Amino acid sequence: MSLTLTLTGTGGAQGVPAWGCECAACARARRSPQYRRQPCSGVVKFNDAITLIDAGLHDLADRWSPGSFQQFLLTH
């Protein structure tokens, strides 16, 4: 049995920086790209099954081809 969890996004639902937000975290992310974060999301691999947790990534189609996931878990 093999189980892995990969966090593919650790920002809020809108990502960081958020449009129109001037908080310290968003301002820093605008200045320095290494502080930018994708919307909260993850990929769970259990044996041969791959599950996407939350599908709100802006670049989802660039990261994975259609049919890559057997399951989707939408939390909100």
The C-alpha angle with vertex 21 and arms to 53 and 27, in degrees rounded to 5, equals: 95
Question: Average pLDDT in the 6-16 region?
Answer: 91
Percent of the chain whose pLDDT exceeds 90 = 78
Question: Average pLDDT in the 22-43 region?
Answer: 96
- Which tokens hold the place of 60? 């989802």
- CA 12 vs. chain centroid, Å, equals 9
Q: Is the dihedral of CA 28, 56, 54, 13 positive or negative?
A: positive
Split at pLDDT 50, 70, 90, the class of 1 is confident
**pTM for this model (two decimals):** 0.79
- Which tokens hold the place of 55? 């599908």
Split at pLDDT 50, 70, 90, the class of 58 is confident
Q: Which helix (H) or strand (E) holds 25?
A: helix 24-31
